[in-house]
Structure 1
Amino acid sequence: MKAKQLLLTTFAMALSVNIWASGLEQISSNHSVDQTTENLVKELNKLKDKGVRVFTVIDHMDNAKNVGLKLPPTKLVIFGNPNVGTKLMQCAHTTAIDLPQKYLVYQNKSGQTVITYNNPRYLAERHQMKGCEAVIGKIQGLLAGVAKKAAAK
């Protein structure tokens, strides 16, 4: 039994390292892709007074269907805060390629709904940002908090 637990722990750590290496954070949701997306938008809209805006939601499954292709439920929520995004771009202009922020919500091969987003610390490293540590920390907390709320509702 201990060997099985060790193997599972090792596998989980390897998976975690792989996701960090790719710069992505992932959280499983208790809901469908549609409901999870709706939850994310609701949570983000609660932050309007802090400057957060939902710009659009792209339905990749629907777009695939429109050209005769199949794709499991897959949606992209694009959102941001121009004040915060501008500060990041002032730290490293190339950050603009990764902005605005995004949540990818999709159904994986096992049928589980997953929320995926860029890890802000990874982006800071990728763009060699200097002087934005406090902003990055706040963004990281916001992204994780919104995702967890949307997944658990």
Structure 2
Amino acid sequence: MKNIIKILIVSFLLISCKSTMVDSGLIVKTSPYDIETTYSKLKDIITNNPNLTLLLDLDHSKNAASVNLNLDPTRVLMFGNPKLGTPLMKANQTIGIDLPQRILIYKSPSSGTMISYNDPMYLKKRHNLSSNDEVFKKISKALDDITNKVITAK
């Protein structure tokens, strides 16, 4: 009986840990390229897409260096499409804290070059948006397509 209780407790803890990871709302992908190549490919894809506008190119490592601190390479590209984002903000303006879209490119000491972005379906839940399903699906597909182009060889 004690063993069954221990197994149930351990199982519960493992399930709880797993759901916390899943509920983070982040989609994380590994790039086979170094950070500069990954960053350059991503920026090119965004700037050459007529439906997207690059709004911000943030280099956290450079900013850290400006105050004499070291940070592994960490960059953020912020971009958007007002035709998709505006209807979401009209439905619930709080989603504006998560828009425009951002993709983080960073060097993980243990995993190499990584790409992360917010899962649009998580944002839908976070901001209690029950409508605009097609917009969320379109954004999800676009982010998946963009990041997959970055991490696949040409």
TM-score bracket for this pair, using the shorter chain length: 0.7 to 0.9
- Which has a greater percent of helix? 1
Overall identity of the aligned pairs, in %: 33
Which residue of the partner structure matches residue 76 of structure 2?
A: 76
Do 1:77 and 1:102's aligned partners in 2 also have CA atoms closer than 8 Å? yes
Structure 2: distance between partners of 1:68 and 1:131: 47
Structure 1: distance between partners of 2:105 and 2:18: 19
SS of the equivalent of 2:58 reads strand
SS of the equivalent of 1:63 reads helix
Superposition TM-score, scaled by structure 2 size:
0.84
Q: Deviations over 1:54-88 (max 9, x none)?
A: 11211101110110001000000110011211011
Specify the code of the residue in structure 2 equivalent to 1:122. Answer: Y
Which residue of the partner structure matches residue 34 of structure 2?
A: 32
SS of the equivalent of 1:131 reads coil
Q: Which structure is larger by alpha-carbon Rg, 1 or 2? A: 2
Runs (4+) of structure 1 moved beyond 2 Å?
13-20
SS of the equivalent of 1:67 reads coil
1:17 shift after superposition: 4.3
Q: How does 1:73-112 map to 2 (within 5 A)?
A: 73-110=73-110, 112=112
Count of aligned positions? 139
Specify the code of the residue in structure 2 equivalent to 1:105. Answer: I
Which residue of the partner structure matches residue 21 of structure 1?
A: 23
Q: 1:14 to 1:88 in 2, by over 3 A?
A: same
Do 1:58 and 1:75's aligned partners in 2 also have CA atoms closer than 8 Å? yes
Do 1:40 and 1:146's aligned partners in 2 also have CA atoms closer than 8 Å? yes
Which residue of the partner structure matches residue 124 of structure 1?
A: 124
Specify the code of the residue in structure 2 equivalent to 1:26. Answer: V
Specify the code of the residue in structure 2 equivalent to 1:35. Answer: T
Do 1:19 and 1:25's aligned partners in 2 also have CA atoms closer than 8 Å? no
Structure 2: distance between partners of 1:101 and 1:19: 21
Structure 1: distance between partners of 2:86 and 2:17: 33
Do 1:40 and 1:150's aligned partners in 2 also have CA atoms closer than 8 Å? yes
Structure 1: distance between partners of 2:63 and 2:108: 18
Q: Deviations over 1:74-111 (max 9, x none)?
A: 00011001121101101211000111100000001215
Q: 1:19 to 1:117 in 2, by over 3 A?
A: farther
